[in-house]
Amino acid sequence: MAAGTIPFEPMPPLRGLRVGTVMAGIRKADRRDLVVFALGPDATTAAVFTRNAFCAAPVILARAHLQRTRPRALLINTGNANAGTGAAGEAAARACCAALAERLGCAPEAVLPFSTGVIGEPLPVDRLTAALPAAVAALAPDGWADAAWGIMTTDTQPKAVSRAFARDGQTVTVNGIAKGAGMIRPDMATMLAFVAVDAVIDAADLQSALEGAAAGSFNRITVDGDTSTNDACCLIATGDGPRLTPADPAWPAFQAALDEVCRQLAQAIVRDGEGATKFITVAVEQARDAAEARQVADAIAHSPLVKTAFFASDPNWGRILAAVGRAGLSELALERVAIDLDEVGVVRGGGLDPAYRETDGQRVMARTDITIAVRLGRGEAAVRIWTCDLGHDYVRINAEYRT
């Protein structure tokens, strides 16, 4: 069950990139749980990581490796997050990187590790490394769909988005896969996203392209306000294809394709949030600056009272208004605040719109995709974030024992 349609688009092969997925039995048998991306020598890689101070061992290591050399491979496992595992966890991640590096003939620092799954249990290094030969043997340009399955934990569906653009008559493709964040099972950590483009792009340009895309996508979603210890998004330019720089006329098309892939993946994560039945866009406008717009949007998107009301399809505008009121804005003038649910005006002048009819509110709430639009009447800044409702299944799933 998901709130709306999850994209699982055909993923064309990218020049210069191979992907291999196998079953390593990390936590469960008969489940794809190990993915390897193999990059060519000219590939560049950008990444953004969780801001959680307690980041997991693979995040620490991936960050350090990225500083030291050009990545030649990504090594991704599910079933175990290798988080809260201390120095032993880092050693385990290091051992796995070394094992893959040996097999691919690159430096251990050229492997970036990513883990997702149970927190606080030792990474089963032996099972992981034992599966590496098969993973390397499986490497192929058309391995994207398998990888989308291979990185899932509690996601109900794989998530894959692909966009292409032309550059001097040549097609350039941006492929992306992601796994769910937020409404996660006990100890299941992490949003992971892997995006690649078959082009030659300098690492610094690639990093700024990724940061721009992430700011408009992965950093705009919230399911339960909990930031995991393992969140990571990785962007590869395969080094095989046309050369792109920000000065290139095709750069805007690249950034647009990247933005679209990231936004679609981010929204898919929200739609597939555990227990989600509604996909909610929170659009805050007329704020003094972007920070306070986001503050109001977060207050609404994190409010359990708002989220349970949406689960119940209850157009409970009082809860939205109360969330706006507690967002901490100084000198907020009630009489200027307006709230709409989709096309229906609900709050005007800080109180119920006299023209509002409960049947109109009910009609909107019956939809799967709903926009809460808040106008603050105090400036020009705006923000738009995405979240989902809070239902019975969230509690059921997150209260289950770690068994």
Catalytic residue numbers?
Answer: 190
CB 360 within 8 A of CB 390: no
Q: Spell out a b/e string for 285-298, using b for 16 or more CB atoms within 10 Å of the CB, else e.
A: bbbeeeebbbbbbb
- Note the residues at the interface with its own copies (CB under 8 A): 51-55, 83-86, 89, 119-120, 184, 186-187, 189, 224-229, 302-305, 308-309, 311-312, 314, 316-319, 321-327, 329, 332, 334, 337, 347, 349-352, 390-392, 394-396, 398-402
Q: Are strands 344-348 and 338-341 parallel, antiparallel or unpaired?
A: antiparallel
For its own copies, the closer CB: 247 or 366:
366
Give the nearest distance from C-beta 275 to its own copies in angstroms.
9
Give me the count of residues in the chain: 403
Q: Strands (DSSP E) along 138-294, which ranges?
A: 159-167, 170-179, 192-197, 200-201, 232-237, 243-244, 279-287
Contacts of range 103-106, beta carbons closer than 8 Å, 24 or more positions apart: 103/132, 103/133, 103/136, 104/38, 104/72, 104/73, 104/136, 106/72, 106/73
Place of tokens 């679209």: 260
CB 194 within 8 A of CB 238: no
> Which tokens belong to 279?
């996909």
